[in-house]
Amino acid sequence: MARNVEPMFSAIDAMDVEGFLSNLAENVTFQFGNAPALVGREAVREGVVAFFSSIAALRHEMTGKWEADEITILRFMTYYTRHDHNEVEVPCAVILHHAENTLIDDYRIYIDLAPVFAPPVGGEQVAAAH
């Protein structure tokens, strides 16, 4: 079944926490990179609000999408704008499990955020290696 997840990523790119959360089941498990998994929509809200405060902006460019039954796998190039106005690009993959009501009950993001928070080198940010 084809699922339209693009509006959810538009909400993320707009840093619209409530718009993002509207796609998640109440009992969602959410794991971002190597951070501990968050369980429940309220825990995800707190985690996402904290993360959004650590960056100035972000945007996703989808470079792949695969679906099988209740699973959606996405590949992105994600662009983070730091508070120092440098933009850093980082590849990532997202695996979503959709509950029977189509809300997402398991959300895993595979990404290395180290380049986003690394200090600029020579006054300019070094982009992540591809």
pLDDT at 130: 41
The domain ranges of the chain are 6-117
pLDDT at 129: 44
- Token duo for residue 84: 């120092």
Q: Tokens 């992540």 appear where?
A: 128
pLDDT at 3: 86
CB atoms within 10 A of CB 73: 14
pLDDT at 120: 78
The strand order across the sheet containing 38-39 reads 38-39, 24-32, 104-111, 87-98, 71-81, 57-68
pLDDT 10s digits, 7-26: 999 999 999 999 999 999 99
What's this model's pTM, rounded to 2 decimal places? 0.88
How confident is the prediction for the chain on average, in pLDDT?
A: 92
- Matching CATH number, 6-117, of 3.40.50.720, 3.90.470.20, 3.10.450.50, 3.40.190.10: 3.10.450.50
pLDDT at 100: 86
Residues of the chain with pLDDT under 50: 125, 128-130
